[in-house]
Amino acid sequence: MSTKTLASMIASVALMSGCSSGSDKVTTTPTAQEKPMTVTPVTQQVSPEDFLTQFNIDIKTISDEAGAAQWVRATYITEDTALLAAKASERYQAYLSQAVNQAKQFPTQGMSKDTARALKLLVLSTSMPAPADAKKRAELSRIATEMGGIYGAGEYCREDGSCLQLQELENILASSRNYDELLEVWQGWREVAIPLRPKYERFVELTNEGANEFGYGDLAQMWKASYDMPVAEFEQVVDGLWTQVQPLYEQLHCYVRHELGETYGKDKVDPNAPIPAHLLGNMWSQTWNNIYDVVEPFPGKSTPDVTPALLAQEYDAEKMTRAAEEFFVSLGLPELPDTFWQRSMLTKPRDRDVVCHASAWDLDGGKDPRIKQCVEPNAEQLSTLHHELGHIYYFLMYKDLEPLFRTGAHDGFHEAIGDTIVLSMTPEHLKKKGLIKDIANGNEAKINQQMRMALEKIAFLPFGKLIDEWRWKVFSKEIPPEQYNAAWWDLRRKYQGISPPTARDERYFDAGAKYHIPGNTPYIRYFLSFIIQFQFHKALCDTAGFNGEISDCSIYGSKEAGKQLGDVLAMGASQPWPKAMQTMTGQPHMDASALLEYFKPLQQWLSQENADRQCGW
């Protein structure tokens, strides 16, 4: 669940995933005699338009080097690639700091809207602002690269000497129903994050210093300023969206806790307390769909999982990716370029450590898009491929815009596109594609289908909000380093109603066990995307002429819906996001009403099931 655009690459070129030019030319590390690229100083003779023209030329050159280093770093984790990535990042950040400082000097009076917007996006284009001091900038690049390497190469080794990497640990959490085994792997992965803690503390200090130099009180203020509205208004919007969906989440939590208590015993799952975090089928308890078998409302009434069909029909990584591509092509969007198939990493190499976390990369300004994913033939990976191709098609559709406009209307848009397509992967669609044979019908089947979806989409919402709420408070120093872990679990109890299965003191750094913390990827985008994807889905279904419950709608094959989608993608960030929202949905606001409409049958059923239970925690 991540994307590497020009803007996000500016944000994280030092991290364990990034982007690359993908060109065939050889990129070399500058020798000591080479001069670093510098920004033309602002004078009365330099117009903001001329400045941006030169920036667009320069950023292409320097991003090719930084991106190539990051791609190799993510797909070949060694000490050597760490050094190359850190040095490339250092040069990149030095140039970016100069460019931002110059951009801030232009007076805004008399400037065209496009120019003013481009300059604003330049200032806000990084989530990792580096200090101007060269030594501190080098230190920041080194720390960021080290954190990425530690996470990417992380593994848990058992007493018998066998070692398991994250993907193997995740598979155990998804499939095992042994309480003690789940506890072992949950605790084991969190040992990986312990050495990240002192590095992250220094990382916060350095990025806050960079944010100060960029004109913001701290990095939290800078991140929240990128949504085309005042920071206070953005905070109110986020809180308002959570208020809309919170009652549905609490009903889902209440039901799931009861079913887990029936499975593991009330001595392990207290019916009046938070749920132990290791029992929800996911390393971070962010989605719960892997425990569907435990909480299924009506056994035997569900549409079968597609995983057996994928295995029986010998779907490999490429065949699964081509299946995802075919959905987008059915909407009238273009086929993926040959370079995508030649240069993407779709399987985990046997001979080296790589970052398996799925990500989409915008390389060479949309000319060389690719994904990095360790694909396995199962239902979850098929959905992930559709999600990542949502990013790829965004890259392809806005590639002709100026570089600073080559990103999503806001970062939640970028995350929502592929998931909007996943909402159209209905049982009827999967049957047409030969991935299931029979479809269960009737109200019981509907509730089962919605439960499976809610365990992914609704269960995620509080987690999507709290990640950045924790980070915002860390950046603002409301949460000091000596309270990192306690504050993390306070927020998880408050929003998710989950608790650690064992005591977690300040020796641990449990937030760092989640990729996006050491990877410094802002996370509120995912919360927003899980709301607006339902807005997008409803609007596209209306355009496709669908009549019925929107949970039954698939836009597959609708060229009309595809054009509407493509028009929004082609806008990139050239207009404030409310304009893109207006184009997609007919109104300019983010709103959870479509999500609540989608899950209305389930919410009514949950209310009845929970009528005699004590909900809350």
- Is 29 a residue whose pLDDT tops 60? no
pLDDT at 205 > cutoff 60: yes
- Name the percent of the chain in helix, strand, coil, to the closest 5: 60, 5, 40
Rounded (10°) angle between helices 166-175 and 179-191: 160
Is there a catalytic annotation at residue 589?
A: no
More confident residue, 252 or 84: 252
Q: Which of 516, 539, 580, 598 is catalytic?
A: 516
pLDDT at position 17 is 30
| pLDDT (tens digit per residue) in 405-432 | 999 999 999 999 999 999 999 999 999 9
Q: Average the pLDDT over 191-217 and give the result.
A: 96
Mean pLDDT of 459-475: 98
- Is 26's pLDDT higher than 60? no
Say whether pLDDT at 261 is over 80.
Answer: yes
Q: What is the pLDDT of residue 601?
A: 96
Does the pLDDT value for residue 491 go beyond 90?
A: yes
Stretch (H or E) spanning 163: strand 163-165
Out of 253, 258, 386, 391, pick the active-site residue.
Answer: 391
- Per-residue pLDDT band for 349 (boundaries 50, 70, 90) equals very high
Q: Does the pLDDT at position 27 exceed 50? A: no
Work out the percent of the chain whose per-residue pLDDT is above 70: 93
End-to-end CA, the chain: 30
pLDDT band, very low/low/confident/very high, at 43 (cuts 50, 70, 90): low
pLDDT at 19 over 70: no
Give the contacts of 5 (CB within 8 A, at least 6 positions apart). Answer: 19, 362, 395, 406, 407, 408, 414
CA gap 595, 245 in Å, rounded: 8
**Out of 65, 146, 388, 469, which one is annotated catalytic?**
388
Q: Confidence band (pLDDT; 50, 70, 90) for 65?
A: confident
Catalytic one of 90, 376, 415, 456: 415
pLDDT, position 9: 45
What is the identity of the amino acid at 351?
A: D
Mean pLDDT value of segment 430-450:
91
Considering the candidates 526, 544, 573, 594, report the single residue annotated as catalytic: 526
387, 410, 414, 537: the catalytic one is 387
Q: What are the tokens at 559?
A: 């060229």
Residue 88 annotated in active site = no
Any catalytic annotation for residue 278? no
With bands split at pLDDT 50, 70 and 90, how would you rate the model's confidence at 13? very low
Q: How far apart are CA 448 and CA 554, in angstroms?
A: 18
How many residues would you count in the chain?
617
**Residue 351 neighbours by CB under 8 Å, 6+ apart:** none
Element (H, E) at 360: strand 359-361
Q: What is the pLDDT of residues 297-343, one digit of tens each?
A: 999 888 778 999 999 999 999 999 999 999 999 999 999 999 999 99
Q: What mean pLDDT comes out for the span 563-568?
A: 97
H or E segment and range at residue 276: strand 275-276
414 has catalytic annotation? no
pLDDT digits (tens, 9 = 90+) for 495-541: 999 999 999 999 999 999 999 999 999 999 999 999 999 999 999 99
Please check the confidence at residue 67 and state whether its pLDDT lies above 50. Answer: yes
Torsion of CA 425, 563, 121, 422, to 10 degrees: 0
Name the β-bridge partners of 359.
Answer: 372
Biggest alpha carbon–alpha carbon distance for the chain: 76
Distance of CA 539 to the CA centre of its chain: 23
Query: Which of 156-160, 564-568, 589-593 shows the lowest mean pLDDT across its residues?
Result: 156-160
User: How many angstroms separate the CA atoms of 345 and 67, rounded?
Assistant: 15
Residue 387 falls in the annotated catalytic set? yes
Residue 253: active-site member: no
* Ramachandran class of 372: left when φ > 0, alpha when ψ lies in -120 to 50, beta otherwise: beta
